[in-house]
Structure 1
Amino acid sequence: MGSTHEITDGDLVHLRRCVHLAREALEAGDQPFGSLLVDGTGTVRFEDRNRVSGGDHTRHPEFAIARWAAENLTPEERAASVAYTSGEHCAMCSAAHAWAGLGPIVYASSTEQLTAWHAEWGVEPGPVAPLPVNAVAPGVPVRGPAPELAEEIRLLQARSAGAA
């Protein structure tokens, strides 16, 4: 499906909420990521932030969305939903999203951006390859990144990495 830069004004409203959740995560001692799920009628059904500081590195908000959706929405509702996130899904979360049968992903910052920032700051790579969503889940439509939010997210990631 591929990535596009066609972020709408409506997308930006939800992405700004994701950035707010990412800031909450950072302030709570977690990595700065936040996500939400919007159903086919435009209603926010679930939102969360990163919660990995306790040692469980699977506690990503995107993974929580997939689990919540699988338990609470019909397959049709899941397919009609849009996941918004401050950072493009990692490989684990991309797989969970696809297996749950969720609809499009809209992200504020890309894996490519985060990887470049981490390299610039000397952050060691994690244990999972930094793949874009469509390398893991080729059938999931994606939109992003949102240039309007890049600097704000970069600053949150820099604080998290100790580079700011």
Structure 2
Amino acid sequence: MTIDDTDRAHLLRCLALARSALSDGDEPFGSVLVGADGTVLFEDRNRVKDGDATQHPEFAISRWAAAHLAPAERAAATVYTSGEHCPMCAASHGWVGLGRIVYAASSRQLGEWLTEWGVEPAPVAALPITTVVPSAVVEGPDPGLGDEMRATYREFFAP
């Protein structure tokens, strides 16, 4: 599969959520869960600024899906996210049994940008989703959103 116009529309919503997090002083990440019929089921943004580094939107999606969807519904759903899942979020995705993941910017891209800007590395290794969840179906990064993602990250992370 490739990223199509429907995927891009959901990724643009993720970017809007990331910008919402940014305007609230939080790290700019946003995610959307979409059911097999195309219905947006849940969305969230990063909420780590108050000290709980587990408050990632992808992790929130996993918790919400586990509480509200049957296993078959989870497997048929798609998670859209502004940035590739960290290992914690990828693991939660795998444990809950969510379906396809589509992201705008990769962990590798973010890591390269952070290095360029002189930002200290995160305390957790940036692993590709499929290293954590080998059977995951993953699409990304979206080359059409790279510049916007870089600019959004730069606004938060660059000194």
Question: How would you bin the TM-score normalised by the shorter chain?
Answer: over 0.9
Q: CA deviation at 1:162?
A: 3.0
Q: Say if 2:114 and 2:158, in contact at 8 Å, map to a contact too.
A: no
Pairing partner for 1:80 from 49, 60, 76: 76
SS of 1:54's equivalent in the other structure is: coil
Q: Is 1:120 paired with 2:87?
A: no
SS of 2:60's equivalent in the other structure is: helix
C-alpha distance in 2, partners of 1:143/1:111? 13
TM-score by length of 2: 0.98
> C-alpha offsets along residues 81-108 of structure 1, whole Å, 9 cap, x if unaligned?
0000000000000000000000010000
C-alpha distance in 1, partners of 2:138/2:35? 16
Q: CA deviation at 1:131?
A: 0.5
Pairing partner for 2:48 from 29, 33, 52: 52
Pairing partner for 1:159 from 147, 150, 155: 155
Pairing partner for 1:141 from 115, 137, 141: 137
C-alpha distance in 2, partners of 1:32/1:66? 19
Q: Is 1:64 paired with 2:60?
A: yes
| Pairs aligned (count) | 159
> C-alpha offsets along residues 40-59 of structure 1, whole Å, 9 cap, x if unaligned?
11000000000000100000
Aligned to 2:5: 9
SS of 2:49's equivalent in the other structure is: helix
> C-alpha offsets along residues 13-60 of structure 1, whole Å, 9 cap, x if unaligned?
000000000000000010000000000110000000000001000000
C-alpha distance in 2, partners of 1:82/1:161? 28
C-alpha distance in 1, partners of 2:50/2:69? 28
SS of 1:37's equivalent in the other structure is: strand
Task: Compare relative contact order (CA 8 Å, sep 6+) and give the higher one, 1 or 2.
Answer: 1
Residue 16 of structure 1 aligns with an amino acid whose one-letter code is L
Aligned to 2:102: 106
Which runs of no fewer than 5 residues in structure 1 stay unpaired? Answer: none
Structure 1's consecutive aligned runs of 4 or more residues displaced over 3 angstroms after TM superposition are none
The percent of aligned pairs where both chains have the same amino acid is 58
Which runs of no fewer than 5 residues in structure 2 stay unpaired? Answer: none
Query: What aligned pairs does 1:25-44 form with structure 2 within 5 A after superposition?
Result: 25-44=21-40
Q: CA deviation at 1:122?
A: 0.7
TM-score by length of 1: 0.95
Aligned to 1:93: 89
> C-alpha offsets along residues 65-122 of structure 1, whole Å, 9 cap, x if unaligned?
0000000000000000000000000000000000000001000000110010011001
